[in-house]
Amino acid sequence: TAMYCLSGSSDSMIRLWDLGQQRCIHSYAVHTDSVWALASTPSFSHVYSGGRDQSVYLTDLSNRESVLLCTNEHPILQLSLQDDMIWVATTDSSVNGWKAEAHEPLKLFQKGSSFLAGNLSFSRARASLEGSAPVPIHKEPSSIIPGVPAITQHEILNNRRHVLTKDTAGSVKLWEITRGAVIEDFGKVSFEDKKKELFEMVSIPAWFTMDARLGCLSVHLDTPQCFSAEIYAVDLNVAGAQEDLKINLAQETLRGLLVHWSKKKQRSGSHGLSNGDTSTGKDVSLKNLPHPRSEVDDGAENHASQMLPSFEFSTVSPPSIITEGSSGGPWRKRITDLDGTESDIPWWIVDCVEHNRFPKENTKCGFYLHPAEGSPAPNITQGKLSAPRILRIHKVANYVVEKLDRPLDGNADSTFGMGLTSGQSQFSALDSSSRLGLKPWQKLKPSVEILCNSQVLAPEMSLATVRAYVWKKPEDLILNYKVVQSR
């Protein structure tokens, strides 16, 4: 009723409060540990309670008589009374239904051995220790809504696209974040051994954070950090992609998540602004203003835009989007339930998905390129070079080959199709294998080797990978080259 209120607390007590008097009028010592869930009968004469002691009790609020309805294998988090069934949610993912006789609770007291609830929290704990714990009325639930095993352990792998997980059933699985799906189930194997087996010597910026507090994977994206990771399309096996074509992982993931929203919005012809006015000063930095070529990694034509399909998320078991609404509270929808009319999608996501605008993070890596010690090769560079951090070492080798074939003449406009820059100059000329979409370290016979810390570098390694795993210093990267006999 509007006159009374029930509460459960960490001291194992259930309390009945008089709202008019603003005080507790009765206390019930039923549980032996914290009370986390309550559900009253429609007449407010009895209360079902559960908590950390994994037990559900039914208590008569007038005569203080209590009976143990059932016990569970996990602590109880929620109770819901529906007709004559009490549904119990625990820290396990399954939900159990138990017969509750909500309209005639006296039937339950006739089936089991009841006891009088004390008014001191230690009374039930002492009774339990003395071996006088009551026997539950029900041994097995009447109905079970099965859940999937909860994720208890996870590790983001170095490629920043895959996550290794372990669940309560002991199964180890590999997830692809850009698709929101399990791509391999390894079964009950060692999590640590599998993590070592899947290790890749690659360095990709951390573009998302993650937790598994809900028993499932929750991926968090925040601007501008989420736009820091780029990858070559060929590394994602994009059919027909040029070798230099780069995609932004966050941008493509957001497109995949909102593909249903975009399609329905286009059909409805809705063009209203979403959360945040994109005409305000906060949006100025995200405007799609022209970039001078010296500020674009490999030229705008080498960035994925409308030409690449969105990452595909499952429509059978679609992920949900949780975000902050304009009214201040969070809202949650499955991606297949978005109808194109949502006005609470953050402005920066709309800018990214609809207008191809997002903050351009600094993706450059500065380095020096010198002849290896003892090598007769001449010095071909003047000062520090700059290139995209995902640039492959074979591109650096090709740059050296081109320079050795055409010695440095001091002309600041000397060019090579690599995205390498020296000072403020942008090199932008020819690389036939790149233009054909071939892998140069497979198609060409390189005449130079690139080294770092006296270690010969694999052609497919990126500058970021070399810096993280070979150079291992905060200073600018130093690469060396030496001429080798053509194979």
- Along the 487 residues of the chain, how does pLDDT read in single tens digits? 578 999 999 999 999 999 989 999 999 999 989 999 999 988 899 999 999 999 999 999 999 999 999 999 999 999 999 988 999 999 888 999 999 887 787 888 887 678 888 777 665 555 555 556 788 999 999 999 998 898 999 999 999 999 999 998 999 999 999 999 999 999 999 999 999 999 999 999 999 999 998 889 999 999 999 999 999 888 887 777 787 888 899 999 999 999 889 888 887 764 444 444 333 333 322 233 233 322 323 333 445 444 454 588 988 889 999 887 656 667 888 999 988 888 888 889 999 998 889 988 777 899 999 999 988 888 888 889 999 999 999 999 999 988 887 654 444 333 333 445 554 333 333 233 444 344 444 444 448 999 999 999 999 999 999 999 999 999 999 999 998 866 5
Vertex 307 angle, CA 301 and 308, to 5°: 115
Give the model's pLDDT for residue 189: 96
What phi and psi, each to the nearest 5 degrees, are found at residue 457?
A: -95, 140
Give the model's pLDDT for residue 328: 61
Residues of the chain with CATH 3.10.20.90: 364-483
182-212 CB burial, b ≥16 within 10 A, e <16: eeeebeeeebeebeeebeeebbbbebbeeeb
> Up-side HSE of residue 252: CA atoms within 13 Å toward CB?
27
Give the model's pLDDT for residue 326: 58
CA 305, 308, 313, 316 torsion: positive or negative? positive
> Which of 417, 414, 420 lies closest to 364, judged by CA?
420
Query: Which amino acid is located at 239 in the chain?
Result: A
C-alpha to C-alpha distance for 28 and 14, rounded to whole angstroms: 5
Is 463:476 a contact under the CB 8 Å cutoff? Answer: no
Burial of 262 per CB tally in 10 Å (0-12, 13-18, 19+): middle
Residue 442: which residues within 8 A CB-CB, separation 6 or more?
none
Q: Which residue has the tokens 């005449």?
A: 447
The reported pTM is: 0.70
Is 326:344 a contact under the CB 8 Å cutoff? Answer: yes
Looking at domain 4-145, its CATH class is mainly beta
Give the model's pLDDT for residue 127: 59
Residues of the chain with CATH 2.130.10.10: 4-145
Is 308:255 a contact under the CB 8 Å cutoff? Answer: no
First to last CA, the chain: 88
Residue 157: which residues within 8 A CB-CB, separation 6 or more?
163, 164, 195, 198, 199, 200
Is 225:202 a contact under the CB 8 Å cutoff? Answer: no
Burial of 252 per CB tally in 10 Å (0-12, 13-18, 19+): buried
Is 312:256 a contact under the CB 8 Å cutoff? Answer: yes
CATH of range 364-483; options 1.10.357.10, 3.40.190.10, 2.40.50.100, 3.10.20.90: 3.10.20.90
Give the model's pLDDT for residue 38: 96
Query: Which amino acid is located at 144 in the chain?
Result: I
C-alpha to C-alpha distance for 386 and 364, rounded to whole angstroms: 6
C-alpha to C-alpha distance for 102 and 14, rounded to whole angstroms: 19
Is 476:384 a contact under the CB 8 Å cutoff? Answer: yes
> Up-side HSE of residue 8: CA atoms within 13 Å toward CB?
25
97-106 CB burial, b ≥16 within 10 A, e <16: bbbbbbeebe
Give the model's pLDDT for residue 287: 30
C-alpha to C-alpha distance for 270 and 379, rounded to whole angstroms: 59
Is 238:245 a contact under the CB 8 Å cutoff? Answer: yes
CA 374, 376, 382, 385 torsion: positive or negative? negative
Give the model's pLDDT for residue 105: 79
